[in-house]
Chains A and B, each alone.
Chain A
Amino acid sequence: MIALDRNLLHRFGLLLIIFLIGIALSLATESFATLSNLTNVARQVSINGILAVGVTFVLLTAGVDLSLGSVVALSGVACATFAQTGEHFVLIPISVGLLVGTACGLTNGLFVTIAGIPPFIVTLGMMTVARGLALIFSGGRPVANISVNLTDFAGDIGGVPIPLLCFAAVATLAWFFLRHFKLGRHIYAIGGNEQAARAAGISVNKVKLLSYALCGLLAGLAGVVLTARTTTGQPNAGVAYELDAIAAVVIGGTSLAGGIGTITGTLLGVLLIGEINNGLDLMGVSSYFQAVIKGVIIVGAVWLDRRQSRS
């Protein structure tokens, strides 16, 4: 019961912070509380949101994925390569992007489980390998001339941005999976105590492999969305995206030691980071200062949270 209450308190606290910053921003700037700006925020948080949901799975198993940004670039380039003007069947480039992402995630998972290498090292390796592959396949240049079929993927349906719909769908599915699937429970158990989970009859390697694959799949999706939005496959895109994603998840109350955390928390973390990014832009803060402020806010939020949960 106590853990539940603390969760509620945590979520309520985050919600309150998001709300207060929102009020402050609408007072401080004229443009924050406009429909066009909020739509823009929604578009911007979608990519980080999709990545954050993916990395939640991995963090819950007490793992980590540092390769997200590079995988976004690689799957974006792959997607763009198959979406040149004149090709009409949009499912092909999308599937290619998702497949490339999943393959990267699976590779991470195989090295973590079968080879037993720490996730930090494996995904650090994948971070440079995927970036290198993206540069090789694109020849170091952005892959342009993308067909409208794909760029439409970043458009609207009835005024709602498609990337936001993707994010919402991904988050809902992930929430449902973690809460109502046997495998979701297994993910929590492995993060809580891997050896005990194995002794309780859980196939630890299979479940971890699945987590890394899902994380890769969602990184692939983020790559596709990014390519559609920017209308190019950028081999240099997505640098440090993993950090924003992991920060959002941790702000949302997920333990880096695994076994504790929720998708709802991740959503709130994503919103907070998106709001801060947008607010700093609107207030005309230079990007150099933005980086410093964001870092301080991330560490401060987690620090406050830890203090709160200890007392």
Chain B
Amino acid sequence: MLQALELRKDFGGLTVLQPTSVDFLPGEVHALMGENGAGKSTLMKILAGLYQPDGGQIKWRNQVVTFRSPHDALTAGIAMIHQELMPIPHLTVAENITLGAEPTGTLGFIDRKAQLVRAATLLAELDSDINPARLMHTLTVAQTQVVEIAKALGRQADVVLMDEPTAALSDLEVAALFRAITRLKARGVAVVYTTHKMDEVFQLADRITVLRDGTYIGTHLARDLSPPKLIEMMVGRELSDVFPARGQASQDVILEVKGLSREPAYRNISFKLHRGEILALSGLMGAGRTEIVSALYGLQPTFEGEIWIRGQLSWIRSPADAIAAGIGMVTEDRKGLGLIPAQSVQQNITLSSLHKLSLGPLLDHAREKKEASAQISQFAVRTSGPQQPIHQLSGGNQQKSLIARCLLHDPDIIILDEPTRGIDIGAKAEIYAIIQKLAQAGKAVLLVSSELLEVLSLAHRIMVIRQGDLAAELDATKTDQVTLLHHAMPL
């Protein structure tokens, strides 16, 4: 139905997409996979009319077409749902769905009743029970996405392009989105989408196209691929190179948590963490994992339960307390709780350690620069220099800078909350190597991750959190994905 023929795109002399040919069929879910910068988004944006190709053609229903703008593509029946959604918050769901194509009555007034009916019909087709009279800003991210899909449907779209639609969703919300996608498929719509999540691709996609460094690698039926095989195609190397070998954990308890509770997020959480150990917190998104580690770091302090560090009862009421007690954390919310975007890489790295890089109240600029440069080279942060503004770095390099910030104040207990979310596999492999090195150096690592492969390949022990309860504690070397999921699913 939609064909990309030898499409090519250059940006300032750099070819970001080598000639690529893919065809998209009605009624199929087609996943575009690849690291960041592989060219997936570029390909999508050409198909949606946002970019003009520098070579090749688009064939639509066997005719060569040129889309000069997203409007052209939309008129032809190709709709794109962006990573950052753009709803109008203070209008109703129905008004958003029919935006630009409002049903009008006599005198050209908007027919509100018809508008509501039309929106309800479209939503029902997606198996959704969102009330079309609700205001847009009261919806969750997943519901907003469903509304955007309904909007695309209302425009008679035959192809829906989605750029990382599940990046910000909880698992229950993902399920709702998947139902909507399945309905689209049943209507004969071609769905093209990108994601960084392995589990999802195999649940949803019929065919998978892999891109690497702007080059087309291949298109396969999803059932002919396995996660390790797919990763190898994306990275271009063996899986054993991605996950380094584990070291030996000691018996020396550094952190003990007793009966930690904060209703309704989690309750009665108790565990021990040893030096040299990587302990993973697994579970569905929204199960309470982030809330538990946020309590340990003082971001969301709780009064119920005890935290013992090196055999001493500790009061952690703020991140400053946690850092003083030897705890460091890299939060899952890189933008919201991590980066100071206007500041340099150096200033971001040293932010938590200024007390060590000062003489009294005065900053020691020379030492600051030396320490930051050392961290930059140790973690292979790719930057033009320590003074480069951090917002210019790629996601993976920003993440490595934040890990450097956390490690520079030399914590013994390191909490990593989704340390590899939204970054490409090359950078992931580097972060895995850092984590193993930390454990081998006698640090204790508490790892929160939604990627099962990551949890199973990195950790010594796995604690599964289910709806705020500690559901199971497993030896990572003696369990598998099915067992983990079994414990994680709500009863």
Contact = CB atoms under 8 A, between A and B. Distances in A.
Given A198-B319, A199-B331, A181 B362 contact: yes
B387 A189 contact: no
B388 A200 contact: no
Contacts of B93: none
Contact of A1 (B331, B354, B388): B388
Given A1-B385, A192-B341, A182 B318 contact: no
B343 A192 contact: yes
Interface in A241-266: 255, 259-260
Contact of A189 (B319, B329, B351, B392): B351
Given A4-B387, A199-B338, A200-B405, A182 B354 contact: yes
A292 interface: no
B342 interface: yes
B137 interface: no
B233 interface: no
A4 B387 CA distance: 9
Given A181-B363, A199-B329, A200-B405, A260 B319 contact: no
A196 B320 contact: no
A86 to B, nearest CB: 42
A1 to B, nearest CB: 6
A260 B344 CA distance: 12
A159 interface: no
B299 A199 contact: yes
A1 B329 contact: no
A180 B389 CA distance: 19
Interface residues of B, number: 36
B491 to A, nearest CB: 34
**Size range of the chain A interface in the assembly:** 20 to 34
Interface string B285-319: 00000000000010100000000000000000011
Contact of A192 (B320, B342, B363, B405): B342
Contacts of B361: 181-183
Interface in A192-235: 192-193, 195-203
Nearest to A199: B337
Contacts of A4: 387
A182 B355 contact: yes
A182 B392 CA distance: 25
A185 interface: yes
B432 to A, nearest CB: 23
A197 B336 CA distance: 10
Contacts of B363: 180-182, 184-185
B347 A185 contact: yes
A298 B329 CA distance: 44
Contacts of B320: 201-203
B106 interface: no
A184 B322 CA distance: 23
A188 B322 CA distance: 22
Contacts of B344: 3
A180 B354 CA distance: 11
Contact of B319 (A1, A184, A186, A199): A199
B330 to A, nearest CB: 10
A59 B337 CA distance: 21
Contact of B343 (A1, A184, A189): A189
A262 B388 CA distance: 18
B319 A200 contact: yes
Given A180-B362, A181-B361, A182-B363, A197 B340 contact: yes
Nearest to A189: B340
A182 B359 CA distance: 9
Given A182-B361, A195-B336, A200 B351 contact: yes
Contacts of B299: 198-199
B351 A259 contact: no
A244 B203 CA distance: 61
Given A193-B339, A259-B342, A182 B358 contact: yes
Contacts of A259: 340, 342-343
B318 A1 contact: no
Nearest to B299: A199
Contacts of B339: 193, 196
Which 8 A-B pairs rank lowest in CB-CB distance, beginning with the nearest?
A192-B340, A201-B323, A201-B320, A200-B351, A199-B337, A200-B352, A259-B342, A182-B354
5 contacts: A1-B388, A3-B344, A188-B340, A200-B405, A260-B342
Interface of B: 297, 299, 318-320, 322-323, 329, 331, 336-344, 347, 351-352, 354-355, 358, 361-363, 365, 384-385, 387-389, 392, 405, 409
